[in-house]
């Protein structure tokens, strides 16, 4: 078995302790990790973290597992995994700082989309703290970044328009809010929104 001892111990513990409907994921994680099938492993982790019942495991999965092999994965996916963990934090301030740290980690020439995404999601948490100035500055920076990209992953556009919409809503600039909310809906599958988000965007 070619599994890092810490990673192996974490995965085997979760196999024993996770609910039956989730335990098999940890067995599959270990198998794919051992065989170094990184793309398939990334897809399986993505499936796992999007299961509502897996929410309590998201921080552990990121810190104890994903961090070990992050250099092999798509960096936009890495930021999304980090975001899933950050959303489980008890402190919004800690979540903002965590995403800012992730943004610095992926600030490389080959991963600027991921850098923009991490900045946008850190701005979202800053907005929840009512830090409008910081949010505005980040949105302006990210707009320039996005406009410079030859191609843009739809998840980046979705994050940008969502944070813009929420920013303008907080500023009571409802014309800009509705404009960005409509742009958001144009680049996502509405079924991906939570019930709360659907009500908010309606």
pLDDT of residue 112: 97
pTM to 2 decimal places = 0.91
* Rounded Cα–Cα distance for residues 67 and 176 (Å): 38
Token pair 């170094």 is found at 36
pLDDT, one tens digit for every residue, the chain (202 residues):
456 689 999 999 999 999 999 999 999 999 999 999 999 999 999 999 999 999 999 999 999 999 999 999 999 999 999 999 999 999 999 999 999 999 999 999 999 999 999 999 999 999 999 999 999 999 999 999 999 999 999 999 999 999 999 999 999 999 999 999 999 988 876 555 544 454 454 4
pLDDT of residue 192: 57
The contacts of residue 158 (CB under 8 Å, 6+ apart) are: 184, 187, 188
**Residue 51 · residue 35 · CB < 8 Å:** no
In this structure, the chain runs to a length of 202
**Residue 44 · residue 18 · CB < 8 Å:** no
**Residue 35 · residue 16 · CB < 8 Å:** no
């Amino acid at each position: 078995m070619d599994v890092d001892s810490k990673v192996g111990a974490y995965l085997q513990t979760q196999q024993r302790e996770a609910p039956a409907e989730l335990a098999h994921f940890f067995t599959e994680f270990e198998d794919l990790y051992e065989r170094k099938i990184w793309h398939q492993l990334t897809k399986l982790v993505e499936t796992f973290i999007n299961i509502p019942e897996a929410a309590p495991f998201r921080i552990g999965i990121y810190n104890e597992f994903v961090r070990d092999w992050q250099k092999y994965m798509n960096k936009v996916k890495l930021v999304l995994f980090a975001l899933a963990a950050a959303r489980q934090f008890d402190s919004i301030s800690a979540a903002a700082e965590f995403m800012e740290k992730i943004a610095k980690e992926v600030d490389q020439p080959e991963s600027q989309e991921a850098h923009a995404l991490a900045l946008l999601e850190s701005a979202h948490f800053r907005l929840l703290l009512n830090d409008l100035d910081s949010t505005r500055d980040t949105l302006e920076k990210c707009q320039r970044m996005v406009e410079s990209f030859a191609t843009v992953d739809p998840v980046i556009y979705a994050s940008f328009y969502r944070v813009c919409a929420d920013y303008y809503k907080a500023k009571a600039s409802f014309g800009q809010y509705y404009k960005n909310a409509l742009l958001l809906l144009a680049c996502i599958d509405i079924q991906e929104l939570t019930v709360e988000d659907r009500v908010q965007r309606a």
